[in-house]
Structure 1
Amino acid sequence: MNQNVAIRSVRQEDFPAWKLLWDGYNAFYGRSGPTALPADITPMTWSRFFDAYEPVHALVAESEGQLLGLAHFLYHRSTTQLGPSCYLQDLFTLDAARGKGIGRALIEEVCRRAREAGSPRVYWQTHETNATAMQLYDRVAEKSGFVVYRKLL
């Protein structure tokens, strides 16, 4: 990774640049235009990053004043371990920043923070068609063997 890239917590003044990344992330997963998230989701998500009561956190990758990527993660209880689990919910980098170690650096920083929080594991999921991301994930983690199911309500 470029030595000029810093991984840090998001700050209030990052909102415009974070929003561009967030919109890119959502568009990547088909959530844009008529399938966009409801309008109240983005401001609520943003506010959670700054609410000490919320277990939701945001990191950004920054170089020369430009945000290149984001990672959102949260902690939750588990019935099978004492420490909290850490779920890496969102990971995204700009197209121009891909293949430069930024995604890996964001994952590593989430893992570092999870260890500090007493979490014995970090886990995440991606869409089965996201072959580029899976190449990275296969290098930095192991597959759990579990299949994810969901039912929209």
Structure 2
Amino acid sequence: MRPPLEIRAALPTDKQRWFILWQGYLDFYQTELSVEQSSLTWQRILDPEFNMKCAVAIDDGLIVGFTTYSLQNSTWSENGHCYLEDLFVDPAVRGKGVGRALIEYVKSYAIENNCSRLYWNTDEDNATARKLYDTYTLESGKRQYRIALN
């Protein structure tokens, strides 16, 4: 019998596999980050003083997915929000509940921290992810605007 899927906070020993999945995530979004920026992201994940968390999904001893998330203050909420920033599942195990398990982990974290909302963004054409996300709620109808500052 296979062990159940495990979701837990990222540990320093997860670095090598996280970097492989992180690169898959960047490739999916057709973007490049410097090795230095990716290393900084990993350092931030492990820094208890930095407002960034990471959870990993482990299936049969192998990390097969991750999510990053953080708490955010809000002018619209007494308790603030939880922002799920990144979610990636190894394509070899997609459709097996890994993404949902990661979202549920972050949702539990948001509830434990009395957040009034858990939210995330995805590209409009990301049909695979939206199939999962739409089972939670329909997209908000908001558009995100970005101004590059450097």
Q: Secondary structure at the match of 1:125?
A: coil
> What is the CA deviation profile of residues 45-89 of structure 1, one whole-angstrom value per residue up to 9, with x for unaligned ones?
111112121110000000122011000001111111111211100
| TM-score (structure 2 length as normaliser) | 0.94
Q: Distance in 2 between matches of 1:76 and 1:19?
A: 26
Identify unmatched segments of 5+ residues in structure 1. Answer: none
Aligned to 1:73: 69
Q: Report matched runs for 1:39-54 at 5 Å.
A: 39-54=35-50
Of 88, 91, 97, which residue of structure 2 is paired with 1:95? 91
Aligned to 1:12: 12
Alignment identity in percent? 39
Q: How many residues align?
A: 148
Q: Which contiguous aligned blocks of 4+ residues in structure 1 show a shift greater than 3 angstroms? A: none
Q: Secondary structure at the match of 2:134?
A: helix
Q: Secondary structure at the match of 1:86?
A: strand
RMSD, aligned CA:
1.3
Contact kept in structure 1, 2:3 and 2:60, CA below 8 Å:
no
Identify unmatched segments of 5+ residues in structure 2. Answer: none
Matched letter for residue 134 of structure 1: R
Q: Secondary structure at the match of 1:68?
A: strand
